[in-house]
Amino acid sequence: MDKPRYGRILLKLSGEALAGEQKYGIDAATITAIATEVKEVVECGTQVALVIGGGNIFRGLAASSKGMDRASADYMGMLATMINSLAMQDALEKVGVDTRVQSAIEMREVAEPYIRRRAIRHLEKGRVVILGAGTGNPYFTTDTAASLRAMEIGAEVILKGTKVDGVYSADPMKDPNAFRFTRLSYIDVLKNGLQVMDATATSLCMDNCLPIIIFNLTTRGNIKKVVFGEDIGTIIKGE
């Protein structure tokens, strides 16, 4: 295809994706590589919003399982997503991409408050909008935040970048007979408990007919390939 299939996307990145080969923190080379790929997509005319997890810094669910108050742990996780969002903003601006960070928790010194209409206006002006702090509420994951924000801003698809090239029938690292699905329905994902996005996020997408594409973020050029409609990864949509 000589032009992008999607005019507006929401790209969901896990916090671990920013850590690269490290187990913790932010790897400069990895975040620069992602920023460069996002720049290529923006230059093709596609509007890009980003939601980034915080698992490379702090996991609220893991902390609550060890006795921490769940709401407090989740708020700490939201702050971790803001650290990642500011790091991604810096990386994008260093490669020449205009950005805005919007936070679901008010912190005016470092980010705009999340305002739907303002986010859409930034996208229309060609800026990448990085949506931090999840939904601003505990008990909701960044997957759910990605689904919610994608629908609010009118994204045509959610692209979820992972370390594997789609959804498998079993863990491909452990089961040599595991096979990759090229297409799934929302009901398949929910019924079989496939680890795509959490059930709340998947249900939101199903209710609003918003497709999800799971693809390998670590392969150079894959973000652009997905945006241009190449058949990679796994697409989840209605029957």
What pLDDT does 159 receive? 97
Grade residue 177 by pLDDT with cuts at 50, 70 and 90: confident
**pLDDT tens for residues 2-34?**
799 999 999 999 999 999 888 899 999 999 999
Query: Rounded to the nearest 5°, which phi and psi values hold at 119?
Result: -60, -45
Q: Please state the pTM of the whole predicted model.
A: 0.94
Class of domain 8-237: alpha beta
Structural domain spans, the chain: 8-237
CA-based end-to-end distance of the chain: 25
On average, the pLDDT of the chain sits at 94
Across residues 118-129, what is the average pLDDT? 98
Pairing of strands 212-216, 234-237: antiparallel
